[in-house]
Amino acid sequence: MALITAENISIGYGSRTIIKDLNFSVDTGDYLCIIGENGVGKTTLMKTMLGLMKPLSGRILLGEGLKNNMIGYLPQRTTVQKDFPASVWEIVLSGFQGRCGARPFYDRKEKLIAKDNIERMEISSLSKRSYMELSGGQQQRVLLARALCAAQEILLLDEPITGLDPRAASEMYGLISKLNKEGMTIIMISHDISESVKYASHVLHIGKNIFFGSKEKYFESDEGKVFLMKNKGGEDR
Amino acid sequence: MTDKLIMYMQYPFVIYAMIVGVLIALCSSLLGVTLVLKRFSFIGDGLSHVAFGAMAVGSVINLSNNMFLVLPVTVIGAVLLLRTGKNTIIKGDAAIAMISVAALAFGYLIMNVFSTSSNLSGDVCSTLFGSTSILTLNKYEVILCAVLSALVVLIFILFYNKIFAVTFDENFSRASGVNVERYNLLIAVIIAVIIVLAMNLVGSLLISALVIFPALSAMRIFRSFKTVTICSAVLSVLCAFLGIIVSILFGTPVGSTIVAVDACVFAICVFIGKIMGGIRI
């Protein structure tokens, strides 16, 4: 059985359905890229996968012993965090909160893993710095390190490169791809299609028509071709 | 001046006021950071008006101890206001404004129509500004206050990491399996208890100052959650202590003096923050 399976799910708010009858599955080690225009419901889909929202119909199945608190999530940055006094260390550690249960403090093992994840994100030198003083790219690395603390098998990333300059963005892609090669399953939302698809193994395209399949098939499909042409046109201009 | 202070210190009611004032200041500052960051600075104000309304009802029906009515009503108010749920009819700040003025109006109305007291405006004034009640505390009230404060501090320490996680990123916490609603409820209940406690000290109009000033001052200087929390607790306690001493020496109203000291300290912290550009810890 796959790690995450979506069976005929429809999602939306109240009576408004945004996506209808969607089917897809993610296996261990996959790198799924969810693409589509703004407002088609990519974030809503991700929230549904996380169990933050209920699908209007259909269901999300978690397989291979995956539980909700084993999923790492990188949400879009919020306005509250802009002037939030918190050190990098405090934020990364808070990734363990879901596993703490009623235990009030973090144990030594968790602190070691947190330190390890900070090193993996190459931000050890920043660990005592305050989050709000960091650049956008550095902030994303902090949030990714926190997501890694929560994640054991799978990471869900919501627009991880939004607002980053090109260099920071390509570094971010490099980091995510490295994690994927180390065995982490990745599901990523992006509207920077050309760059993000480069590293992906599977593509879920949401729009008028829905496409789900491997990257190779995507490039052969109608949705893929349309998108590739559009993208090329954009680059030529 | 020192002689005067030493003389006053020999009266038990002054000592009681000191103890209660410092404890309340400590408690109210703890959650201030969370409230400010969650954009709920005004919640203290709203809740204290609810508490005022409840107190008015309590005094009209001649309850021997207002606490048993005021505390539950305020807790319910806090739960309703902090429900950041998406389905509320009226959102955030509007709900707080609406509930607070309505409670204030009804409270005064009830006091005015049904009150048996001969000094109505005095009663209202002392509930709003806490002018004298802190100097008339008896031993049991001090003990009650001490117990509740100890409880608040203990709960805050035990749930410190959870409060931080929920404040910093609600969605992430929820996704990783934290019961966010439960902790929001906890925060709401603690705030309600603090508000009711603090009404004795500064009265219902000035409570939000006690909650948000220390947090805002600390945030000018420090940049991590732990240091900000510790600094705001220390500042709050110092300000309350200083405020009470000044009010004893110069005969000024306790509540407003404490808040005035808080405001001055805030100005100093802004200045220090500007010079240092924030300590990097």
Tokens 């395209």 belong to: A205
Structure-block tokens of residue B159: 């749930």
In a domain, B281, yes or no: no
- SS3 state of residue A187: strand
pLDDT at B204 over 80: no
User: What pLDDT, on the 0 to 100 scale, is given for residue A143?
Assistant: 93
B91: left (phi over 0), alpha (psi -120 to 50) or beta: beta
Residue B225 contacts A where some CB pair is shorter than 8 Å: yes
Tell me what the mean pLDDT of segment B156-177 comes to.
90
- Chain A residue at shortest CA distance from B157: A104
User: What pLDDT, on the 0 to 100 scale, is given for residue B118?
Assistant: 66
Domain that holds residue B154: 2-276
For A80-120, the DSSP string reads: GGGG---BHHHHHHGGGHHHHTT--S--HHHHHHHHHHHHH
Least confident of A106-110, B21-25, B195-199: B195-199
Residue A14 contacts B where some CB pair is shorter than 8 Å: no
Structure-block tokens of residue A195: 């760059």
| Rounded mean pLDDT for each run of 10 residues along chain A, 237 residues in total | 87 83 90 87 89 87 79 85 89 88 87 92 90 89 92 88 86 91 91 80 87 86 72 48
User: What pLDDT, on the 0 to 100 scale, is given for residue B130?
Assistant: 66
pLDDT tens digits, one per residue of A205-219: 888 888 898 888 888
- Chain A residue at shortest CA distance from B218: A85
User: What pLDDT, on the 0 to 100 scale, is given for residue B64?
Assistant: 63
Residue B178 contacts A where some CB pair is shorter than 8 Å: yes
For chain B, counts of helices (H) and of strands (E): 13, 0
User: What pLDDT, on the 0 to 100 scale, is given for residue A234?
Assistant: 45
> Count of A–B CB contacts within 8 Å?
108
- Chain A residue at shortest CA distance from B158: A104
Q: Residue B190: give its domain's CATH number.
A: 1.10.3470.10
Amino acid, res. B137: L
Instruction: Look at B223 and A52 and tell me if their CB atoms are within 8 Å.
Output: no
The candidate with the shortest Cα–Cα distance to B106, out of B60, B40, B44, is B60
Find the CB nearest A90 among B172, B175, B226.
Answer: B226
The dihedral built from the CA positions of residue A178, A181, A187 and A190, taken in this order, carries a sign that is positive
Instruction: Find residue B60's DSSP bridge partners.
Output: none
Residues in chain B within 8 Å Cβ distance of A53: none
CA angle B105, B108, B112 (to 5 degrees): 135
The candidate with the shortest Cα–Cα distance to B210, out of B9, B52, B27, is B27
The four Cα atoms B223, B225, B228, B232 give a dihedral, to 10 degrees, of 160
Amino acid, res. B239: C
Q: Write the ipTM.
A: 0.85
Core vs surface per residue A132-162: b (16+ CB within 10 A) or e: eebebbbbbbbbbbbbbbbbebbbbbbbbbe
Instruction: Look at B223 and A133 and tell me if their CB atoms are within 8 Å.
Output: yes
User: What pLDDT, on the 0 to 100 scale, is given for residue A224?
Assistant: 74
Residue A55 contacts B where some CB pair is shorter than 8 Å: no
- SS3 state of residue B11: coil
- Quote the CA–CA distance of A161 and A39 in Å, as a whole number: 17
With a CB-CB cutoff of 8 Å, which residues 262-281 of chain B face chain A? 278, 280-281
Tell me what the mean pLDDT of segment B256-269 comes to.
93
In a domain, B206, yes or no: yes
Find the CB nearest B225 among A86, A97, A133.
Answer: A86
Q: How many alpha carbons lie under 13 Å from residue B198 in its C-beta half-sphere?
A: 34
Q: Which domains does chain A have, with CATH numbers?
A: 1-66+155-237 (3.40.50.300), 76-152 (no CATH)
- Quote the CA–CA distance of B232 and B211 in Å, as a whole number: 10
- Quote the CA–CA distance of B73 and B269 in Å, as a whole number: 36
pLDDT tens digits, one per residue of A1-43: 788 999 999 988 777 888 888 899 999 999 999 988 888 888 8
- Quote the CA–CA distance of B109 and B120 in Å, as a whole number: 11
Residues in chain B within 8 Å Cβ distance of A73: 171-172, 175-176
Residues in chain A within 8 Å Cβ distance of B278: 130, 133
Which of the two residues, B213 and B14, has the higher pLDDT score? Answer: B213
Find the CB nearest B161 among A71, A78, A105.
Answer: A105
Find the CB nearest A85 among B162, B165, B225.
Answer: B225
Structural domain total, chain B: 1
User: What pLDDT, on the 0 to 100 scale, is given for residue A236?
Assistant: 41
Amino acid, res. A12: G
Measured between CA atoms, how close is A136 to chain B, in angstroms? Answer: 17
Residues in chain A within 8 Å Cβ distance of B222: 85
User: What pLDDT, on the 0 to 100 scale, is given for residue A164?
Assistant: 85
Instruction: Look at A81 and B177 and tell me if their CB atoms are within 8 Å.
Output: no
- Quote the CA–CA distance of B55 and B57 in Å, as a whole number: 5
- Chain A residue at shortest CA distance from B40: A80
Measured between CA atoms, how close is B172 to chain A, in angstroms? Answer: 6
DSSP state of B89: S
User: What pLDDT, on the 0 to 100 scale, is given for residue B237?
Assistant: 95
Instruction: Look at B281 and A128 and tell me if their CB atoms are within 8 Å.
Output: yes
The candidate with the shortest Cα–Cα distance to A215, out of A206, A203, A204, A227, is A203
User: What pLDDT, on the 0 to 100 scale, is given for residue B90?
Assistant: 57
User: What pLDDT, on the 0 to 100 scale, is given for residue A142?
Assistant: 93
- Chain A residue at shortest CA distance from B168: A81
In a domain, B170, yes or no: yes
In a domain, B230, yes or no: yes
Measured between CA atoms, how close is A212 to chain B, in angstroms? Answer: 25
Find the CB nearest A78 among B161, B169, B222.
Answer: B169
Instruction: Look at B171 and A75 and tell me if their CB atoms are within 8 Å.
Output: yes
Mean pLDDT of chain B: 83
Residue A155 contacts B where some CB pair is shorter than 8 Å: no
Structure-block tokens of residue A212: 């789900």
Amino acid, res. B272: I
Give the distance from CA B139 to its chain's centroid: 21
For B179-226, the DSSP string reads: -HHHHHHHHHHHHHHHHHHHHHHH-TTSHHHHHHHHHHHHHHH--SHH
Tokens 């409270």 belong to: B107
Instruction: Look at A85 and B219 and tell me if their CB atoms are within 8 Å.
Output: yes
Measured between CA atoms, how close is A71 to chain B, in angstroms? Answer: 7
User: What pLDDT, on the 0 to 100 scale, is given for residue B86?
Assistant: 47
Instruction: Look at A90 and B225 and tell me if their CB atoms are within 8 Å.
Output: yes
State how beta strands A31-35 and A185-190 pair. parallel
- Quote the CA–CA distance of A124 and A120 in Å, as a whole number: 9
User: What pLDDT, on the 0 to 100 scale, is given for residue A103?
Assistant: 85
